[in-house]
Amino acid sequence: MLPDDFLFPPVCGVGHAFFWCPSDQVTHRVKSLLASGGMVEVPMSESGVTCFLSDDFESLMPLLDRGLTPPEKKAVRALLSASSQPSLREFGSIQTLEELGLKLSAQWLGHMLADRRYKSLMQPIVSAANHDDILGYEFLIRGLHTDGVEISAPTLFETADAAGMLYALDMAAGETAARTAKGFDLKEKVFVNVLPRTIGDDEGFEAWLANVLGDASFAPGQVVFEIVESQQLSDVASARKLIESLHERGIMMALDDFGTGFNNLATLTDIQPDYIKLDKSLTKDVINDGRKWTLIANIIDSAKQSNIQVIAEGVEDLRTARALESAGADYMQGYLFGRPADKPLEAAE
């Protein structure tokens, strides 16, 4: 479900939206929700059919998401008609609200990707011993509405997942990260997120690499791929093979949000990534929780025995930074050192 305050890019032209509801109670809720969004009901002679005039079809789902349950969205039938007069002739286009939501999600996301309305923000990763020493930047995709307003990463990836467009979004995220890094002629490391399902397919991954890296001449070891937290690698052997393949190309690997799900100490020595990034759920409140500090220190000690460097995420104050430094963290990332921004720190000063 998209956030209530999310605004779709407008679709021009006036049309009509028809709804067949399973009960009078659901019909009433549909009417109230659409009326609250400024849509005008059109009287219908057909029993059980509700019709609304609309000049922005893509705004329908955020309105209906607020008041309908998932089962109701599977039960309610809908038809969108671009005609200027109410008509029920397009029976082949009738679908459930759930199906309609996926279609509209794919539509606005597809338009955004086709128009290249997205960008990368950069968040610095600094040395734990010297906060002025920048290891590199993590690149984070943001979508852009037609008016330039940002679309958050969770909205992008949740929509792409529902619409079956994760690979296309992952391609865009990697491409804009590399393009932005080269635009600033960065010498620091470039941390690029990539979905395991992207790298799990050899042909798809080769296409992703070609699109992301293109003709860019990054230095060996400058690019670091992060396996993002929301997905899982298929198995340890595949992960190890992947890292070896990347090393042959001069690309490093980081396991993101270490300490959750797939990422655990039992597999750390087998996979041998170049970096692990401690999940912010571990680093949060570490100054008040001695058990967390001990756990983090043990993780760091295990990583260092395998020559793996540790980046602590979610660092927002100096006391937390000092505690993590005392536990042995090599690098840190968080609002204390810089929020995601359009420019690297040196260029922003």
At 306-341, the pLDDT tens digits run: 899 999 999 999 999 999 999 999 999 999 999 999
What is the C-alpha separation between 277 and 189, in angstroms, rounded?
A: 15
User: In this prediction, what percent of the chain has a pLDDT beyond 70?
Assistant: 85
Spatial CB neighbours of 327, under 8 Å, sequence gap ≥ 6: 286, 293, 296, 297, 300
Tell me what pLDDT residue 233 has. 56
Topology of domain 117-348 in CATH is: TIM Barrel (3.20.20)
Architecture of domain 15-111: 2-Layer Sandwich (3.30)
Residue range(s) occupied by CATH 3.20.20.450 in the chain: 117-348
> Over the stretch 50-99, which tens digit does the pLDDT of each residue have?
888 877 676 777 788 778 888 998 888 888 877 655 555 554 467 888 77
**For residues 250-279, average pLDDT:** 79
Mean pLDDT estimate for the chain? 83
In the predicted model, is pLDDT for residue 258 greater than 90?
no
Asked if 48 contacts 105 with a C-beta cutoff of 8 angstroms, the reply is no
How far apart are alpha carbons 94 and 232 in whole angstroms? 36
Q: Residue 257's pLDDT band (boundaries 50, 70, 90)?
A: confident
Quickly state the pLDDT bin for 13 (edges 50, 70, 90): very low
Q: How confident is the model at residue 9 (pLDDT cuts 50, 70, 90)?
A: very low
- Integer CA distances (angstroms), 166 to 80, 102, 109, in order: 26, 13, 10
Q: Which stretch of 15-29, 110-124, 203-217 has the lowest confidence by average pLDDT?
A: 203-217
At 193, is the secondary structure helix, strand, or coil? strand
Question: Do 57 and 17 meet the contact criterion of CB atoms below 8 Å apart?
Answer: yes
Chain center to CA of 335? 19
